[in-house]
Structure 1
Amino acid sequence: MEDWAPPNHRRRGARRRRRRFAGLPLAMKAVVGVLVLAAFLTLADRWALLYAEQRAAGALQDRLGLSAAPEVEIDGFPFLTQLGDSRLDSVKLTVPDVAADRVSLAKVSATATGVRINGGPTSPRGARIPELHGEVLLAFDDLDRELGASQVRFRGEGRDRVLARGTLPVAGHDLRLRAQARIERDGARGIATRIGGMRLDIGDVATYRPGTRPSEGLHLSRRSAARLAHETAKAKALLSVPSIVRALRVPDAAVRAALSDDTKLAELTGSDRFARQAMGLNLIDVAAAHPELLKRFGLDPALLDGLSRLTRPVLVDRLSFGFRLPQPEHGDLWLRDVRVMKDGIRVRLVGSGLRVGKS
């Protein structure tokens, strides 16, 4: 008599499943087989696509000398069919931090259409790009970091203007900086900036504008000139220098009366005419002949020496952020439609007849 054993339900279940599959109609089995094959083919197509994108990104990084690999995205399905035909419907390319003169371009993004692969699908040697459209972004964050050294901030104002606001260290003093840059296209592949409205404020004492015009140089602020009416010592020191009196165009009789009578002094220095004339004095010229006078106004001689070397070309160079795209070896590449946006300067990029690698 055989020993009793519990029934094996798992084995019976497996036999029932095999009988069920065997009982399926032949057409249903064919459909299931086609679906499984399609899934494997799709997976193989996607793996081949990812491999091709990585290879293309590495090749572009080496050829263009980029610090980081670009992002390459090949559109169209299936990919293997396009590769077999040596063509790609559309390729999207994103390149971060492209070196351009003094600054880096935050992002260059472009889409190439109708790309033809040279050398066949198994050994591609290069590609021809008949048409390319994209955009160049010069971000304000990059300008703040690379030009402003965390002390100057760039922000847009209107369609073609950028404002620079912040502080600039000069001879150990942090001066408030204000400037305006107008953005314009420079030829087919360049962007130029025209810097204007530059001024450095030394507290509320004086303002420096680089240049040689009468309105430029170092001048007393309106508030500082108005305070002369209440600061007798400064006003008398100013009126005691004949060359300054001549520059102010104050009659000698009025000067003598003001130096001997504080009431007359207050009347003279408190007038609007005197304040305007005092603001017209170039303090850098005054410092050359009377350095001790400017100390009364709280101006450091070392600061004045530093400002005299901070000429307009020097300051323009520190704030300029123009760039130029390189000329491709084959085909043409140019810029269009320069716009100042909230996040930075955006420029439309167009290309035609481009080639990558060997033709």
Structure 2
Amino acid sequence: MAGSQIQSEIDFEAEGRQTGYLRVPHSVHRSAYGWIPVPVTMIRNGAGPTLIVTAGVHGDEYEGQIAVADLAHRLRPAEIRGRLILLPMLNAPACEAGLRVSPLDDGNLNRLYPGDPLGTPSQMIAHYHETVLLPMADYAVDLHSGGTSLHYPATLLYGPAHSPGEKAGLRLLRDAFDLPYAWVFTGGGGRASTARTAMGAANRAGVINVMVELGGAGRICPEVLALTERGLRRILHAVGMLPGYAPDARRGTRALHAKGTVPAHDAGLFEPLKGLADPVSEGEVVARIHRPDTPDAMPVAVTSPFGGIVLALRPMAQVRRGDALFQIAADIP
């Protein structure tokens, strides 16, 4: 496969702090030799691990974009040991449009890895991330949220370990981020991963990595943003990159397995009867879908096929058949 067509304004081997763009070539009517700017900051100071933090893989997920940009503004080389690479808007066209997918190619970046160096803009970004950036890293953190159509509590996601070193590294990141919930995958991962996600790309590169879901609903939750900014600094300290930081006491994380989603089977207006983290019994009525356009139509009861707790909730009232209303998770026994 051909090498990446993306050019970096950053010298990833240089010391100090640099800001600039990854230049994604994009020839269009208004700009024959144009390029898409993907913002990047690198801070490097001597020997130490490399941590890559990404946000904006989906453009309507905002908490991570703010947290990564804030870290890029505030940290200075003298404060850290090693190399920190920060990408607050990895799918920059989607972020600028406030959309889950890129308006340029309808690309859902988190379903396109390992990408294509000669493909669409989203495919080129996926390829560069997997083949150029991630091989530099010891650790990676990918920040997401529920976007416009879902809302999560602050939740860490990670897969199974495939070696004692990976197990220790994942435990280190989990305890350092110290979010209220963790969604633990039971399979996959490792260098043989076939997942077309950023997490799959990091696994194939042998990088110890976690993903997070941070709020959503198309807005900024101040409490979740504060947890995110706290967690990133705690991770930097835990991996030995922020020695001067004094972390507060760990609060603890509730580990969960996802059971599945509860979909809408009817179009109408969604009335949830459960909130985030509420307990749910199998077969329990968790919502009603109303049809005010049909005078004699009674609300349709929505039951959960799973027992557990509500891990994610649709914040939008209008629903169509097939929309996810809830995600249900249960404690790991």
On whether the aligned pair clears a TM of 0.5, the verdict is no
**Larger helix share, 1 or 2:** 1
- With normalisation by structure 1, the TM-score equals 0.18
Using the size of structure 2 for normalisation, the TM-score is 0.19
Kindly name which structure, 1 or 2, has the bigger radius of gyration based on alpha carbons.
Answer: 1
